[in-house]
Amino acid sequence: MILVTGGAGFIGSNFVLDWLAQNDEPVINLDKLTYAGNLANLASLEGDERHIFVHGDMGDFALVSDLLSRYQPRAVVNFAAESHVDRSIHGPGDFIQTNVVGTFQLLEAVRGYWGGLDAAAKQAFRFLHVSTDEVYGSLDADAPAFTETHRYEPNSPYSASKAASDHLVRAYHHTYGLPVLTTNCSNNYGPYHFPEKLIPLMIVNAQAGKPLPVYGDGMQIRDWLFVKDHCSAIRRVLEAGQVGEVYNVGGWNEMPNIEIVKIVCGLLDELRPRADGKPYAGQIAYVTDRPGHDRRYAIDATKIERELGWRPAETFQTGIRKTVEWYLEHGDWVEGVQSGAYRNWLETNYAER
């Protein structure tokens, strides 16, 4: 049994689905179901007893302590977070509350539980913290990619709050001996990605005939990883990572945002051409840049490959094609997210809890 936090979000739900597709070890999925949490992502697990969904806050010490003592998981994988940079600029408070205070409360509950385990269970236990490359700050165009020893220089309230959570996780290892692992991953893309993020936003807006907003000059460079590759990296770190270590996870695929948008447009031109036959790229609209927008992130994923033998299975070309196809085939999911139908469903189904 493992406990996952934030397993109804983008990466967490992909992780839960992959985990249960590959083995029968049950998952307790603790999720607060913020705007980013969506049980529709997990609809295929309905009635599956290996998936125990709990609607709640990772910052609720009593709830988490109760779940840990009741289910006795051998590991906790922490995905739960406020994750959208733009939202962190407009309202940083939630990011501090969830990513910093929430992670702290979770660690406290886990520390209490772990301290009470017998020696063998204590040694086998793992707390895996899922984090981001954004904690390392922005890179100059010719600078080498981020390694695990790159110093932390977070520039947005989001990355600062994630950096704080990474430091707390580190401190719980060094101070209390908690067997932690941390992964810092680059930008993910793939199925179930909330359409406020770049790639799904482009696919959805293109289809709706709306402008495709690109920040500034569109030359901000990111590394991109197909979400299922991130999930396989987390599984690998969980099974073989060295306690106390940090692993950078990336796709070896640095690309400017504008190029990503043009690739998405090209795929849509091929798979779902516009009725008037014009290219989707004509819908691109440059908009005022985000304040403090980092120019470049790049991940050096050598360590996880050398020490744990992990490499991404998808290239950007194969992964982005799968992603665009998924969105075209799952218009109902997109509509549910946009119309708020799943939130109504949630209110009806969870009203009594």
Instruction: Using alpha carbons, list the distances in angstroms from residue 340 to 5, 89, 334.
Output: 23, 24, 10
- If binding is defined by CB under 6 A, does position 6 make contact with ligand NAD? yes
Q: Could you say which of 31, 82, 133, 294 is catalytic?
A: 133
CA–CA dist 258, 222 (Å, integer): 11
- If binding is defined by CB under 6 A, does position 102 make contact with ligand NAD? yes
Q: In the complex, what is the shortest distance from the CB of residue 123 to ligand NAD, in angstroms, rounded to a whole number?
A: 26
| Token digits of residue 91 | 């309202």
Q: In the complex, what is the shortest distance from the CB of residue 162 to ligand NAD, in angstroms, rounded to a whole number?
A: 5
Q: CA quadruple 73, 79, 80, 81: dihedral positive or negative?
A: positive
Instruction: Using alpha carbons, list the distances in angstroms from residue 159 to 1, 145, 292.
Output: 30, 17, 12
Q: How many residues bind ligand NAD (CB under 6 A)?
A: 31
Stretch that binds ligand NAD, among 42-50, 124-132, 251-259, 328-336 (CB under 6 A): 124-132
Give yes or no: 134 in active site: yes
138-157 binders of ligand NAD (CB under 6 A)? none
Q: In the complex, what is the shortest distance from the CB of residue 132 to ligand NAD, in angstroms, rounded to a whole number?
A: 4
**DSSP run (H or E) holding 126:** strand 126-132
Give yes or no: 289 in active site: no
Q: Give start and end residues of each alpha helix (H) in 35-155.
A: 61-71, 85-90, 93-95, 103-115, 119-124
Residue 197 is given by DSSP the state S
- If binding is defined by CB under 6 A, does position 59 make contact with ligand NAD? yes
Stretch that binds ligand NAD, among 54-62, 166-174, 289-297, 300-308 (CB under 6 A): 54-62
Q: In the complex, what is the shortest distance from the CB of residue 169 to ligand NAD, in angstroms, rounded to a whole number?
A: 11
| Token digits of residue 120 | 């063998």
Q: Could you say which of 158, 172, 192, 280 is catalytic?
A: 158
Give yes or no: 223 in active site: no
- If binding is defined by CB under 6 A, does position 88 make contact with ligand NAD? no
273-332 binders of ligand NAD (CB under 6 A)? none
Q: In the complex, what is the shortest distance from the CB of residue 205 to ligand NAD, in angstroms, rounded to a whole number?
A: 19
184-223 binders of ligand NAD (CB under 6 A)? 185, 187-188, 194
- Is residue 266 classed exposed, middle or buried when 0-12, 13-18 and 19+ CB atoms within 10 A define those classes? middle
Q: For ligand NAD, give the closer residue by CB, 43 or 121.
A: 43
CB 29 within 8 A of CB 53: yes
End-to-end CA distance of the chain: 24
Instruction: Using alpha carbons, list the distances in angstroms from residue 36 to 11, 12, 82, 118.
Output: 11, 11, 8, 37
- If binding is defined by CB under 6 A, does position 234 make contact with ligand NAD? no
Q: Could you say which of 31, 57, 82, 134 is catalytic?
A: 134
Binding site for ligand NAD (CB under 6 A): 5-6, 8-12, 30-34, 36-37, 57-59, 79-81, 83, 98, 102, 130-132, 162, 185, 187-188, 194
